[in-house]
């Protein structure tokens, strides 16, 4: 069965871009959320295989959302994304419970597969 993903990002255009790219690569987009509160609600409701979480959200920091997601649903796999440098964010994302970090410009299905496998 195709893996399902929840996209959490407040930039409309990015969500469209990622949905297009991931569906092309065989993923199913279970849902989208535009802020932290929405992300928590959607994760609980949809139980996706993966959450793609943007660092910069309007209502709370992405890292805060990451912590709450992992606290509430420890089996949830979260990958943190950002336009910022991966070198800056990789360590802290992982320290807070993420599986890894991807720069948005590198976000293809293949890159995700590689990160989740490795």
Partner 1 sequence: MAVRMRMEQAVARAVADATDAGDAYIRALAAIAAGVEWPLAAAWEPDHFDPDALRCVAVWAADEDGPRAFAEVTRATTLRRGEGLPGRVWQSGRATWIRDAATDDRLPRRDAAAAAGMHAAVCFPVRSDRGLVGLVEAFGPQARQPDADLLAALDVVGVQLGQVVERRRAEESQHRSEQRYRATLQAALDCVVTMDDRGRVIEFNPAAERTFGYRSEAAVGHDMADLIVPPELRERHRRGLARFLAGGAPRVLDRRFEIDAMRADGSIFPVELAITRIDVPGAPVFTGYLRDISERRWAEAELRASRARIVDAGDAARRRIERDLHDGAQQQLVSVAIGLRQARERLDEDPAAARELLDEAIEDLAQGLAELRELARGIHPAILMDGGLQPALHGLVRRSAVPAQLISVPADRLPQAVEVAAYFVVAEALTNVVRYASAAGLVEIDVVHRDGRLIVEVRDDADGGADPAGGGLRGLADRIAVLDGSLDVQSPAGGGTTIHAEIPCAS
Residues binding partner 1 (CB under 8 A):
11, 13-14, 17-18, 21, 24-25, 83, 104-111
Shortest Cβ distance from residue 108 to partner 1 (Å)? 5
Rank residues 18 and 98 by Cβ distance to partner 1 and give the closer one. Answer: 18
CB of 70 to partner 1, least distance (A): 26
In order, the DSSP letters of 34-96 are SSHHHHHHHHHHH--SEEEEES--SSS-HHHHHHHHHHH-TT--EEEEESS-HHHHHHHHHHT
Query: Residue 12 or residue 91: which is nearer to partner 1 going by CB?
Result: 12
Three-state DSSP class for 22? helix
Q: Provide the minimum distance between the beta carbon of 85 and partner 1 in the complex, in angstroms, as a whole number.
A: 13
């Amino acid at each position: 069965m195709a893996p399902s993903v929840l996209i959490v990002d407040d930039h409309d255009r990015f969500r469209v871009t990622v949905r297009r790219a991931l569906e092309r690569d065989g993923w199913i987009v279970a849902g989208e959320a535009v802020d932290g509160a929405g992300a928590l609600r959607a994760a609980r409701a949809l139980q996706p295989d993966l959450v793609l979480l943007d660092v910069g959200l309007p209502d709370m920091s992405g890292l805060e959302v990451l912590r709450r997601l992992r606290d509430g649903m420890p089996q949830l796999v979260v990958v943190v994304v950002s336009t910022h440098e991966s070198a800056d964010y990789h360590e802290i994302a992982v320290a807070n419970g993420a599986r890894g970090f991807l720069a948005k410009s590198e976000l293809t299905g293949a890159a995700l597969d590689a990160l989740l496998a490795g």
